[in-house]
């Protein structure tokens, strides 16, 4: 369960970060592998088919797994390189996913009640971008729909391993509770994720959030 996800820059909205992500995806192959995140699988496996939005989908590993589970999936990411790679993986896998490259903070115009499940997997953003994107995620969620979020917890900076070294892009339980105050919060807690490092297993510290939009 190794989710290194070390961001190339503080702000996902900057041109520098945009180019850095494109460069990383161009040079590093499958940055986090082909398999879906283990927390995504644990939380979402077995759900009935629904309309799913994967925000910050990267190279598409979670979106493709969700599509393989019978969901109608849309994946959005800042990096055109990552989206091209995700589209190629979808073609190779024979899966239908709608992938698009855009800036979630400035270019994404969500449609109300468009999705039954919104997934945010290690989308580490500064508060100025995080809050509006989280608000958009709630806006696009249909009544009864779920937001599932997995991210690096701030405690990981000095107590865990891996992850971005920038406190500006970390957020804790209280901040998520505020961002998603209008949802029925079912889970909002720190979790440990074992990571193999040089033959030893150490724990990264993540945060898992599950919230449901009231009908």
Sign of CA dihedral 48, 52, 56, 60: positive
pLDDT value at residue 88: 94
Residue 188 belongs to some domain of the structure: yes
Radius of gyration of the chain (CA): 16
Q: Mind listing the pLDDT tens digit for each residue in 165-210? A: 999 999 999 999 999 999 999 999 999 999 888 789 999 999 999 9
Residue 37 belongs to some domain of the structure: yes
| Domain of residue 107, residue span | 15-192+206-213
Residue 146 belongs to some domain of the structure: yes
Residue 200 belongs to some domain of the structure: no
CATH code (residue 142): 3.40.50.150
- What is the side-by-side order of every strand in the sheet holding 72-77? 97-101, 72-77, 51-55, 115-121, 141-152, 200-213, 183-197
Flag residues of the chain having pLDDT under 70: 1-34
pTM reported for the whole predicted model: 0.86
**How many structural domains are present in the chain?**
1
Residue ranges with strand state E in 43-121: 51-55, 72-77, 97-101, 115-121
């Amino acid at each position: 369960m190794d989710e290194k996800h070390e961001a190339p820059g503080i702000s996902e909205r900057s041109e520098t970060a945009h180019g850095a992500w494109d460069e990383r995806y161009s040079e590093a192959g499958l940055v986090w592998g082909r398999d879906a995140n283990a927390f995504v699988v644990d939380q979402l496996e077995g759900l009935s088919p629904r309309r799913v939005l994967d925000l910050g989908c990267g190279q598409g590993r979670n979106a493709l797994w969700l599509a393989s589970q019978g969901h109608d999936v849309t994946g959005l990411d800042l990096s055109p390189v990552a989206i091209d790679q995700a589209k190629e993986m979808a073609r190779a896998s024979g899966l239908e996913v709608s992938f698009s490259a855009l800036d979630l903070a400035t270019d994404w115009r969500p449609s109300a009640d468009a999705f039954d499940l919104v997934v945010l997997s290690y989308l580490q953003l500064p508060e100025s971008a995080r809050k509006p994107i989280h608000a958009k995620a709630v806006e696009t969620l249909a009544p009864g729909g779920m937001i599932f979020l997995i991210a690096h917890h701030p405690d990981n900076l000095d107590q865990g391993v891996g992850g971005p070294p920038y406190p500006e892009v970390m957020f804790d339980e209280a901040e998520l509770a505020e961002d998603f105050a209008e949802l029925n919060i079912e889970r909002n807690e720190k979790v440990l994720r074992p990571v193999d490092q040089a033959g030893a297993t150490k724990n990264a510290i993540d945060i898992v959030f599950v919230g449901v939009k009231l009908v």
